Chain A
Amino acid sequence: MPTLISETDVKLERADLCKRIVLPRDTVDNFIVPPARTPGLHLSGLLRYVAQKSRITSYLDQLDEEAVPLRWALGIAWEEFAASLYPDMVWQPGEVSDPVIMTCDGISHLSDVNQPCIEEFKCNRARKYSGADMLKKKWLWTCQGAGYCLGYGCEFVRWHVLSVMEFPDPIYTKYLVGFTNKELGEMRKMIENNRAGAIAEGYCE
Protein backbone atom coordinates (compact mmCIF):
# COMPACT_ATOMS: atom_id res chain seq x y z
CA MET A 1 0.00 0.00 0.00
CA PRO A 2 1.48 3.40 -0.93
CA THR A 3 2.25 5.85 1.87
CA LEU A 4 -0.06 8.76 2.61
CA ILE A 5 2.25 11.68 3.37
CA SER A 6 -0.33 14.38 3.89
CA GLU A 7 -4.00 15.08 3.49
CA THR A 8 -4.89 18.75 3.13
CA ASP A 9 -8.32 20.36 2.99
CA VAL A 10 -8.09 23.49 0.87
CA LYS A 11 -10.28 26.51 1.50
CA LEU A 12 -10.31 28.87 -1.45
CA GLU A 13 -10.50 32.60 -0.88
CA ARG A 14 -11.75 35.28 -3.21
CA ALA A 15 -8.17 36.45 -3.66
CA ASP A 16 -7.20 33.06 -5.10
CA LEU A 17 -9.57 33.63 -7.99
CA CYS A 18 -7.57 36.69 -8.94
CA LYS A 19 -4.33 34.73 -9.12
CA ARG A 20 -5.35 32.20 -11.73
CA ILE A 21 -3.21 31.75 -14.81
CA VAL A 22 -4.27 31.10 -18.38
CA LEU A 23 -3.57 27.50 -19.23
CA PRO A 24 -1.73 26.93 -22.49
CA ARG A 25 -4.11 25.45 -25.10
CA ASP A 26 -3.71 24.37 -28.69
CA THR A 27 -6.47 25.78 -30.88
CA VAL A 28 -7.53 25.43 -34.47
CA ASP A 29 -9.98 28.02 -35.83
CA ASN A 30 -10.59 29.13 -32.23
CA PHE A 31 -11.64 25.62 -31.18
CA ILE A 32 -9.70 23.95 -28.37
CA VAL A 33 -7.84 20.92 -29.67
CA PRO A 34 -7.25 18.15 -27.12
CA PRO A 35 -3.67 16.87 -26.96
CA ALA A 36 -2.97 14.26 -29.64
CA ARG A 37 -2.87 10.67 -28.43
CA THR A 38 -0.37 8.30 -30.01
CA PRO A 39 -1.98 5.14 -31.38
CA GLY A 40 -1.18 2.08 -29.29
CA LEU A 41 -1.76 0.70 -25.80
CA HIS A 42 -2.26 3.45 -23.23
CA LEU A 43 -2.14 3.04 -19.46
CA SER A 44 -5.91 3.64 -19.31
CA GLY A 45 -6.54 0.78 -21.76
CA LEU A 46 -4.23 -1.53 -19.89
CA LEU A 47 -5.98 -0.79 -16.57
CA ARG A 48 -9.35 -1.36 -18.23
CA TYR A 49 -8.11 -4.77 -19.37
CA VAL A 50 -6.83 -5.61 -15.87
CA ALA A 51 -10.16 -4.58 -14.34
CA GLN A 52 -12.03 -6.80 -16.78
CA LYS A 53 -9.64 -9.69 -16.15
CA SER A 54 -9.84 -9.37 -12.36
CA ARG A 55 -13.57 -8.57 -12.55
CA ILE A 56 -13.47 -5.40 -10.46
CA THR A 57 -17.12 -4.41 -10.63
CA SER A 58 -16.68 -1.04 -8.92
CA TYR A 59 -14.13 -0.03 -11.56
CA LEU A 60 -16.42 -1.18 -14.35
CA ASP A 61 -19.01 1.17 -12.83
CA GLN A 62 -16.49 3.99 -12.99
CA LEU A 63 -15.85 3.24 -16.65
CA ASP A 64 -19.56 3.38 -17.27
CA GLU A 65 -19.62 6.91 -15.86
CA GLU A 66 -17.55 8.06 -18.81
CA ALA A 67 -20.63 7.53 -20.93
CA VAL A 68 -22.37 10.36 -19.02
CA PRO A 69 -21.24 13.62 -20.70
CA LEU A 70 -22.04 15.97 -17.81
CA ARG A 71 -19.95 13.93 -15.43
CA TRP A 72 -16.83 14.06 -17.54
CA ALA A 73 -17.57 17.69 -18.39
CA LEU A 74 -17.42 18.41 -14.64
CA GLY A 75 -14.15 16.47 -14.50
CA ILE A 76 -12.61 18.64 -17.22
CA ALA A 77 -13.99 21.81 -15.63
CA TRP A 78 -12.49 20.87 -12.26
CA GLU A 79 -9.10 19.99 -13.74
CA GLU A 80 -8.85 23.21 -15.71
CA PHE A 81 -10.02 25.40 -12.86
CA ALA A 82 -7.80 23.81 -10.22
CA ALA A 83 -4.78 23.63 -12.54
CA SER A 84 -5.10 27.37 -13.18
CA LEU A 85 -4.42 27.99 -9.47
CA TYR A 86 -0.90 26.55 -9.66
CA PRO A 87 1.38 28.69 -11.83
CA ASP A 88 4.45 26.60 -11.00
CA MET A 89 2.91 23.37 -12.22
CA VAL A 90 3.56 22.12 -15.75
CA TRP A 91 0.06 21.30 -16.91
CA GLN A 92 -0.32 18.43 -19.41
CA PRO A 93 3.41 17.83 -19.79
CA GLY A 94 2.85 15.53 -22.76
CA GLU A 95 2.90 11.84 -23.49
CA VAL A 96 5.55 9.36 -22.47
CA SER A 97 5.67 5.85 -23.86
CA ASP A 98 7.72 3.75 -21.44
CA PRO A 99 6.58 1.37 -19.95
CA VAL A 100 3.29 2.11 -21.75
CA ILE A 101 1.82 5.23 -23.37
CA MET A 102 0.41 7.63 -20.79
CA THR A 103 -0.37 11.30 -20.13
CA CYS A 104 -0.58 12.70 -16.63
CA ASP A 105 -2.44 15.90 -15.73
CA GLY A 106 0.57 17.79 -14.44
CA ILE A 107 4.03 17.77 -12.86
CA SER A 108 5.42 20.07 -10.22
CA HIS A 109 8.41 20.23 -7.92
CA LEU A 110 8.23 19.21 -4.26
CA SER A 111 10.62 21.62 -2.64
CA ASP A 112 10.63 19.74 0.71
CA VAL A 113 12.31 16.72 -0.84
CA ASN A 114 13.61 18.35 -4.01
CA GLN A 115 11.84 15.84 -6.22
CA PRO A 116 9.23 15.97 -8.98
CA CYS A 117 5.62 15.16 -8.18
CA ILE A 118 2.76 14.03 -10.41
CA GLU A 119 -0.38 16.19 -10.05
CA GLU A 120 -3.75 14.55 -10.74
CA PHE A 121 -7.18 16.23 -10.64
CA LYS A 122 -10.32 14.26 -9.80
CA CYS A 123 -13.92 15.39 -9.55
CA ASN A 124 -15.31 12.63 -7.34
CA ARG A 125 -19.07 12.02 -7.12
CA ALA A 126 -18.81 10.95 -3.50
CA ARG A 127 -18.35 12.30 -0.02
CA LYS A 128 -14.83 13.08 1.06
CA TYR A 129 -12.63 10.04 1.62
CA SER A 130 -10.08 9.94 4.38
CA GLY A 131 -6.61 9.49 2.91
CA ALA A 132 -6.48 5.86 4.04
CA ASP A 133 -9.88 5.15 2.47
CA MET A 134 -8.91 6.91 -0.71
CA LEU A 135 -5.88 4.66 -1.12
CA LYS A 136 -7.90 1.54 -0.36
CA LYS A 137 -10.98 2.21 -2.40
CA LYS A 138 -9.61 4.05 -5.41
CA TRP A 139 -7.75 1.18 -6.98
CA LEU A 140 -7.78 2.87 -10.37
CA TRP A 141 -6.32 6.11 -9.05
CA THR A 142 -3.48 4.42 -7.20
CA CYS A 143 -2.63 2.26 -10.21
CA GLN A 144 -2.72 5.32 -12.47
CA GLY A 145 -0.51 7.18 -10.02
CA ALA A 146 2.02 4.35 -9.83
CA GLY A 147 2.00 4.07 -13.62
CA TYR A 148 2.66 7.79 -14.02
CA CYS A 149 5.50 7.57 -11.52
CA LEU A 150 7.12 4.91 -13.70
CA GLY A 151 6.56 6.88 -16.88
CA TYR A 152 7.68 10.29 -15.63
CA GLY A 153 10.36 9.12 -13.18
CA CYS A 154 8.70 10.23 -9.94
CA GLU A 155 7.97 8.72 -6.54
CA PHE A 156 5.22 11.12 -5.46
CA VAL A 157 1.67 11.79 -6.61
CA ARG A 158 -0.63 14.54 -5.37
CA TRP A 159 -4.33 14.06 -6.00
CA HIS A 160 -6.48 17.21 -6.06
CA VAL A 161 -9.92 15.80 -5.31
CA LEU A 162 -13.20 17.70 -5.37
CA SER A 163 -15.67 15.67 -3.29
CA VAL A 164 -18.92 16.93 -4.76
CA MET A 165 -21.34 14.97 -2.58
CA GLU A 166 -20.44 16.85 0.59
CA PHE A 167 -23.32 18.99 1.86
CA PRO A 168 -23.79 21.92 1.77
CA ASP A 169 -20.51 22.60 -0.03
CA PRO A 170 -18.08 20.41 -1.95
CA ILE A 171 -14.68 19.88 -0.33
CA TYR A 172 -11.35 20.28 -2.10
CA THR A 173 -8.71 17.98 -0.65
CA LYS A 174 -5.11 17.37 -1.65
CA TYR A 175 -3.65 13.93 -0.90
CA LEU A 176 0.12 13.62 -1.25
CA VAL A 177 1.22 10.00 -1.60
CA GLY A 178 4.62 8.36 -1.96
CA PHE A 179 5.37 5.07 -3.72
CA THR A 180 8.30 2.84 -2.81
CA ASN A 181 10.57 1.27 -5.40
CA LYS A 182 9.02 -2.09 -4.52
CA GLU A 183 5.50 -0.80 -5.20
CA LEU A 184 6.60 0.72 -8.47
CA GLY A 185 8.31 -2.55 -9.37
CA GLU A 186 5.02 -4.38 -8.77
CA MET A 187 3.24 -1.89 -11.02
CA ARG A 188 5.84 -2.43 -13.73
CA LYS A 189 5.25 -6.18 -13.47
CA MET A 190 1.51 -5.65 -13.71
CA ILE A 191 2.02 -3.70 -16.92
CA GLU A 192 4.36 -6.33 -18.36
CA ASN A 193 2.11 -9.23 -17.31
CA ASN A 194 -0.93 -7.75 -19.01
CA ARG A 195 0.47 -5.87 -22.01
CA ALA A 196 0.24 -8.71 -24.55
CA GLY A 197 -3.26 -9.74 -23.44
CA ALA A 198 -4.53 -6.16 -23.56
CA ILE A 199 -3.17 -5.70 -27.08
CA ALA A 200 -4.53 -9.07 -28.21
CA GLU A 201 -7.99 -8.28 -26.87
CA GLY A 202 -8.23 -4.91 -28.55
CA TYR A 203 -7.55 -2.43 -25.75
CA CYS A 204 -5.28 -0.28 -27.94
CA GLU A 205 -6.33 3.09 -29.28
Chain B
Amino acid sequence: MKDTVVPAAQKVEFEILKPGAPDKLFVCVFGKPGTGKTRLMATAPGLGVIPLQRKTRRTVEDVIKDLYPGRKVWWPKNHEEFYKYQNPMAMAMMEREDSKKFYRDLVNRVKVGCWSLLDLPEVKTIGIDSNYTLYQMIVAAHYGKSGQLGSDKTLWGPPNDEMREFLTSLQPKHLVVTTEAKAAYQGKNALDYDDPAGYKSIGYDANVLVETHFSVADGFWLDVRMCQDRAALMGEAGQHLLSGDMIEFKYLACELRPDSSIEDWE
Protein backbone atom coordinates (compact mmCIF):
# COMPACT_ATOMS: atom_id res chain seq x y z
CA MET B 1 0.00 0.00 0.00
CA LYS B 2 1.44 3.39 -0.99
CA ASP B 3 0.40 6.35 1.16
CA THR B 4 0.68 9.93 -0.07
CA VAL B 5 0.37 12.28 2.88
CA VAL B 6 -1.14 15.67 2.04
CA PRO B 7 -0.17 18.23 4.71
CA ALA B 8 -3.18 19.45 6.72
CA ALA B 9 -2.29 23.09 6.19
CA GLN B 10 -0.24 24.36 3.30
CA LYS B 11 0.21 27.80 4.76
CA VAL B 12 0.53 29.01 8.32
CA GLU B 13 -0.44 32.57 9.13
CA PHE B 14 0.76 34.32 12.26
CA GLU B 15 -0.58 37.20 14.31
CA ILE B 16 0.33 38.86 17.58
CA LEU B 17 -1.04 36.72 20.40
CA LYS B 18 -3.40 38.67 22.65
CA PRO B 19 -3.99 36.48 25.70
CA GLY B 20 -7.67 36.09 26.52
CA ALA B 21 -9.05 37.79 23.42
CA PRO B 22 -11.71 35.57 21.85
CA ASP B 23 -11.38 34.62 18.18
CA LYS B 24 -13.14 36.68 15.56
CA LEU B 25 -16.68 35.64 14.75
CA PHE B 26 -18.29 35.06 11.39
CA VAL B 27 -22.06 35.28 11.74
CA CYS B 28 -24.52 34.69 8.91
CA VAL B 29 -28.10 35.77 9.56
CA PHE B 30 -31.00 34.99 7.27
CA GLY B 31 -34.75 35.33 7.48
CA LYS B 32 -37.87 36.71 5.90
CA PRO B 33 -38.11 40.48 5.31
CA GLY B 34 -38.76 42.48 8.46
CA THR B 35 -37.48 39.89 10.90
CA GLY B 36 -34.42 41.84 12.04
CA LYS B 37 -31.48 40.62 9.95
CA THR B 38 -29.97 44.04 9.32
CA ARG B 39 -30.77 45.10 12.88
CA LEU B 40 -28.71 42.23 14.28
CA MET B 41 -25.82 43.21 12.00
CA ALA B 42 -26.12 46.84 13.10
CA THR B 43 -25.59 45.92 16.77
CA ALA B 44 -22.07 44.62 16.09
CA PRO B 45 -19.20 46.67 17.55
CA GLY B 46 -17.02 48.97 15.41
CA LEU B 47 -19.18 48.32 12.38
CA GLY B 48 -18.09 49.13 8.82
CA VAL B 49 -20.92 48.50 6.40
CA ILE B 50 -20.97 47.45 2.76
CA PRO B 51 -24.56 48.32 1.85
CA LEU B 52 -25.77 46.49 -1.21
CA GLN B 53 -29.33 47.68 -0.86
CA ARG B 54 -30.77 51.12 -0.23
CA LYS B 55 -32.81 50.26 2.88
CA THR B 56 -29.77 49.16 4.89
CA ARG B 57 -28.93 52.72 5.92
CA ARG B 58 -32.22 53.46 7.64
CA THR B 59 -32.11 50.32 9.77
CA VAL B 60 -28.51 50.97 10.81
CA GLU B 61 -29.33 54.58 11.69
CA ASP B 62 -32.34 53.46 13.75
CA VAL B 63 -30.26 50.98 15.73
CA ILE B 64 -27.55 53.53 16.47
CA LYS B 65 -30.13 56.12 17.51
CA ASP B 66 -32.12 53.72 19.70
CA LEU B 67 -29.46 51.49 21.21
CA TYR B 68 -26.01 53.00 20.80
CA PRO B 69 -26.18 56.79 20.51
CA GLY B 70 -22.73 58.15 19.77
CA ARG B 71 -21.37 54.87 18.45
CA LYS B 72 -19.44 55.27 15.19
CA VAL B 73 -20.40 53.32 12.09
CA TRP B 74 -18.23 53.44 8.98
CA TRP B 75 -20.23 53.97 5.80
CA PRO B 76 -18.87 54.28 2.23
CA LYS B 77 -18.88 57.88 0.99
CA ASN B 78 -19.86 56.75 -2.49
CA HIS B 79 -22.38 54.25 -1.13
CA GLU B 80 -24.78 54.59 -4.05
CA GLU B 81 -22.19 52.99 -6.32
CA PHE B 82 -22.79 49.72 -4.49
CA TYR B 83 -26.49 49.47 -5.24
CA LYS B 84 -27.40 52.08 -7.85
CA TYR B 85 -27.04 50.22 -11.13
CA GLN B 86 -27.83 51.52 -14.58
CA ASN B 87 -31.44 51.82 -15.68
CA PRO B 88 -33.14 48.41 -15.87
CA MET B 89 -33.79 48.63 -19.59
CA ALA B 90 -30.11 49.24 -20.34
CA MET B 91 -29.18 46.34 -18.03
CA ALA B 92 -31.63 44.01 -19.77
CA MET B 93 -30.32 44.94 -23.21
CA MET B 94 -26.68 44.48 -22.26
CA GLU B 95 -24.66 41.90 -24.20
CA ARG B 96 -23.32 39.07 -22.11
CA GLU B 97 -19.68 40.16 -22.24
CA ASP B 98 -20.68 43.72 -21.31
CA SER B 99 -22.84 42.35 -18.51
CA LYS B 100 -19.94 40.26 -17.18
CA LYS B 101 -17.65 43.29 -17.24
CA PHE B 102 -20.25 45.46 -15.52
CA TYR B 103 -20.72 42.98 -12.68
CA ARG B 104 -17.00 42.24 -12.42
CA ASP B 105 -16.38 45.96 -11.87
CA LEU B 106 -19.15 46.03 -9.26
CA VAL B 107 -17.80 42.97 -7.45
CA ASN B 108 -14.31 44.45 -7.47
CA ARG B 109 -15.68 47.66 -5.95
CA VAL B 110 -17.31 45.64 -3.15
CA LYS B 111 -14.09 43.70 -2.54
CA VAL B 112 -11.98 46.84 -2.42
CA GLY B 113 -14.55 48.36 -0.05
CA CYS B 114 -14.30 45.40 2.32
CA TRP B 115 -10.51 45.26 2.17
CA SER B 116 -10.39 49.00 2.86
CA LEU B 117 -12.35 48.31 6.04
CA LEU B 118 -9.75 45.72 7.02
CA ASP B 119 -7.17 48.51 6.99
CA LEU B 120 -9.13 50.75 9.40
CA PRO B 121 -8.00 49.88 12.94
CA GLU B 122 -11.18 51.23 14.55
CA VAL B 123 -13.36 48.94 12.47
CA LYS B 124 -13.92 45.71 14.39
CA THR B 125 -16.74 44.26 12.32
CA ILE B 126 -17.43 44.14 8.60
CA GLY B 127 -21.13 43.96 7.76
CA ILE B 128 -22.38 42.96 4.31
CA ASP B 129 -26.07 43.54 3.62
CA SER B 130 -26.88 41.40 1.81
CA ASN B 131 -24.63 38.51 0.90
CA TYR B 132 -27.36 37.18 -1.38
CA THR B 133 -27.00 40.30 -3.54
CA LEU B 134 -23.22 39.92 -3.52
CA TYR B 135 -23.49 36.28 -4.57
CA GLN B 136 -25.78 37.20 -7.44
CA MET B 137 -23.24 39.81 -8.52
CA ILE B 138 -20.41 37.28 -8.41
CA VAL B 139 -22.40 34.74 -10.45
CA ALA B 140 -23.22 37.47 -12.97
CA ALA B 141 -19.55 38.48 -13.10
CA HIS B 142 -18.75 34.91 -14.19
CA TYR B 143 -21.65 34.24 -16.54
CA GLY B 144 -23.48 37.49 -17.24
CA LYS B 145 -26.93 38.27 -15.91
CA SER B 146 -28.90 35.07 -15.27
CA GLY B 147 -31.65 36.02 -17.75
CA GLN B 148 -29.07 35.84 -20.51
CA LEU B 149 -27.70 32.40 -19.66
CA GLY B 150 -29.83 30.71 -22.29
CA SER B 151 -29.31 26.96 -22.49
CA ASP B 152 -25.76 27.03 -21.15
CA LYS B 153 -25.22 25.08 -17.99
CA THR B 154 -23.86 27.14 -15.13
CA LEU B 155 -20.87 25.73 -13.28
CA TRP B 156 -21.27 26.79 -9.68
CA GLY B 157 -17.73 25.90 -8.66
CA PRO B 158 -15.95 29.08 -9.82
CA PRO B 159 -18.41 31.60 -8.27
CA ASN B 160 -18.64 29.51 -5.10
CA ASP B 161 -14.85 29.37 -4.80
CA GLU B 162 -14.64 33.13 -5.31
CA MET B 163 -17.31 33.72 -2.67
CA ARG B 164 -15.61 31.49 -0.15
CA GLU B 165 -12.15 32.90 -0.73
CA PHE B 166 -13.48 36.42 -0.42
CA LEU B 167 -15.32 35.72 2.84
CA THR B 168 -12.22 33.99 4.22
CA SER B 169 -10.12 37.05 3.37
CA LEU B 170 -12.31 39.19 5.66
CA GLN B 171 -11.96 37.11 8.77
CA PRO B 172 -9.18 39.07 10.48
CA LYS B 173 -12.23 41.03 11.74
CA HIS B 174 -15.70 40.02 12.89
CA LEU B 175 -17.89 39.43 9.90
CA VAL B 176 -21.69 39.66 9.85
CA VAL B 177 -23.48 38.93 6.61
CA THR B 178 -27.21 38.90 6.00
CA THR B 179 -28.98 36.85 3.39
CA GLU B 180 -32.53 36.33 2.26
CA ALA B 181 -34.67 33.27 2.98
CA LYS B 182 -36.08 30.87 0.40
CA ALA B 183 -38.34 27.85 0.76
CA ALA B 184 -36.38 24.72 1.63
CA TYR B 185 -36.68 21.70 -0.65
CA GLN B 186 -35.80 18.06 -0.22
CA GLY B 187 -35.52 16.84 -3.79
CA LYS B 188 -38.65 18.20 -5.42
CA ASN B 189 -40.64 18.34 -2.19
CA ALA B 190 -41.08 21.69 -0.49
CA LEU B 191 -40.40 21.58 3.25
CA ASP B 192 -42.23 23.66 5.84
CA TYR B 193 -39.29 25.94 6.59
CA ASP B 194 -36.79 28.24 4.88
CA ASP B 195 -33.13 27.90 3.97
CA PRO B 196 -30.69 30.72 3.27
CA ALA B 197 -30.84 31.90 -0.35
CA GLY B 198 -27.77 32.17 -2.56
CA TYR B 199 -24.38 30.77 -1.61
CA LYS B 200 -25.18 27.32 -0.27
CA SER B 201 -22.12 26.66 1.84
CA ILE B 202 -22.51 29.74 4.03
CA GLY B 203 -23.64 27.65 7.01
CA TYR B 204 -20.42 25.64 6.84
CA ASP B 205 -18.14 28.64 6.42
CA ALA B 206 -19.64 30.77 9.19
CA ASN B 207 -19.15 30.14 12.91
CA VAL B 208 -22.91 30.27 13.20
CA LEU B 209 -25.88 30.43 10.85
CA VAL B 210 -28.92 31.93 12.52
CA GLU B 211 -32.46 32.50 11.29
CA THR B 212 -34.49 35.48 12.47
CA HIS B 213 -38.27 35.25 12.89
CA PHE B 214 -41.18 37.46 13.77
CA SER B 215 -44.74 36.64 14.65
CA VAL B 216 -47.38 38.86 16.21
CA ALA B 217 -47.86 36.39 19.04
CA ASP B 218 -44.19 35.78 19.88
CA GLY B 219 -42.47 38.93 18.62
CA PHE B 220 -38.88 38.64 17.35
CA TRP B 221 -36.69 35.63 17.98
CA LEU B 222 -33.64 33.86 16.61
CA ASP B 223 -32.90 30.17 15.96
CA VAL B 224 -29.48 28.59 15.47
CA ARG B 225 -29.53 26.61 12.22
CA MET B 226 -25.89 25.52 12.08
CA CYS B 227 -23.14 26.05 14.60
CA GLN B 228 -19.70 24.63 13.92
CA ASP B 229 -18.33 26.21 17.09
CA ARG B 230 -20.68 24.80 19.72
CA ALA B 231 -22.33 21.47 19.10
CA ALA B 232 -24.43 22.03 22.22
CA LEU B 233 -26.38 24.76 20.42
CA MET B 234 -27.56 22.31 17.76
CA GLY B 235 -31.06 20.96 18.26
CA GLU B 236 -33.30 22.15 21.07
CA ALA B 237 -30.87 24.49 22.82
CA GLY B 238 -30.48 26.62 19.69
CA GLN B 239 -34.19 27.19 19.16
CA HIS B 240 -35.41 30.59 20.38
CA LEU B 241 -31.84 31.17 21.55
CA LEU B 242 -32.42 34.92 21.78
CA SER B 243 -35.62 36.91 21.63
CA GLY B 244 -36.81 40.52 21.72
CA ASP B 245 -34.24 43.05 22.92
CA MET B 246 -31.67 40.31 23.50
CA ILE B 247 -31.16 39.86 19.75
CA GLU B 248 -27.83 41.63 19.62
CA PHE B 249 -24.39 40.64 18.39
CA LYS B 250 -22.85 40.72 21.87
CA TYR B 251 -25.44 38.37 23.39
CA LEU B 252 -25.15 35.98 20.46
CA ALA B 253 -21.34 36.08 20.76
CA CYS B 254 -21.55 35.20 24.47
CA GLU B 255 -23.71 32.19 23.63
CA LEU B 256 -21.16 31.05 21.06
CA ARG B 257 -18.19 31.64 23.35
CA PRO B 258 -19.50 30.98 26.86
CA ASP B 259 -16.07 31.65 28.38
CA SER B 260 -16.17 35.27 27.16
CA SER B 261 -17.86 38.27 28.73
CA ILE B 262 -20.16 40.92 27.27
CA GLU B 263 -17.28 43.45 27.40
CA ASP B 264 -15.28 41.30 24.97
CA TRP B 265 -17.86 42.01 22.30
CA GLU B 266 -18.49 45.73 22.79
Question: Residues of A with Cβ closer than 8 Å to B?
Answer: 1, 4-13, 16, 49-50, 53-57, 60-61, 64, 85, 131, 136-137, 139, 143, 146, 183, 186-187, 189-190, 193-194, 197
The answer to whether residues A8 and B6 also contact, given A13-B1, A57-B186, A64-B187 and a CB cut-off of 8 A, is: yes
A54 touches B235 (CB 8 A): yes
Q: Using CB atoms, name the residue of chain B closest to A138.
A: B204
Interface residues of B in 174-190 (CB under 8 A from A): 184-187
B2 touches A13 (CB 8 A): yes
Q: How far is the CB of B224 from chain A (nearest CB, A)?
A: 7
Question: Residues of B with Cβ closer than 8 Å to A?
Answer: 1-6, 8, 184-187, 191, 193, 195, 201, 204-205, 223-226, 228-232, 234-239
The answer to whether residues A1 and B236 also contact, given A11-B2, A57-B191, A137-B204 and a CB cut-off of 8 A, is: no
Q: Which of B226, B229, B230, B237 contacts A56 (CB 8 A)?
A: B226
Q: How far is the CB of A159 from chain B (nearest CB, A)?
A: 14
The listed residue with most A CB atoms (<10 A of its CB), out of B2, B195, B231, B238, is B231
Chain B residues with Cβ under 8 A from A11's Cβ? 1-4
A55 touches B234 (CB 8 A): no
Chain B residues with Cβ under 8 A from A16's Cβ? 1
B3 touches A54 (CB 8 A): no
List 16 additional contacts besides A53-B239, A64-B187, A137-B201; criterion CB under 8 Å. A1-B228, A1-B229, A7-B5, A7-B6, A7-B8, A8-B3, A9-B6, A10-B2, A11-B1, A53-B238, A57-B195, A61-B187, A136-B205, A143-B231, A186-B230, A197-B235
Q: How far is the CB of B13 from chain A (nearest CB, A)?
A: 14
Chain B residues with Cβ under 8 A from A61's Cβ? 186-187
Q: Using CB atoms, name the residue of chain B closest to A2.
A: B228
A194 touches B236 (CB 8 A): yes
The answer to whether residues A136 and B231 also contact, given A8-B3, A10-B3, A54-B225 and a CB cut-off of 8 A, is: no
The answer to whether residues A4 and B8 also contact, given A56-B225, A137-B204 and a CB cut-off of 8 A, is: yes
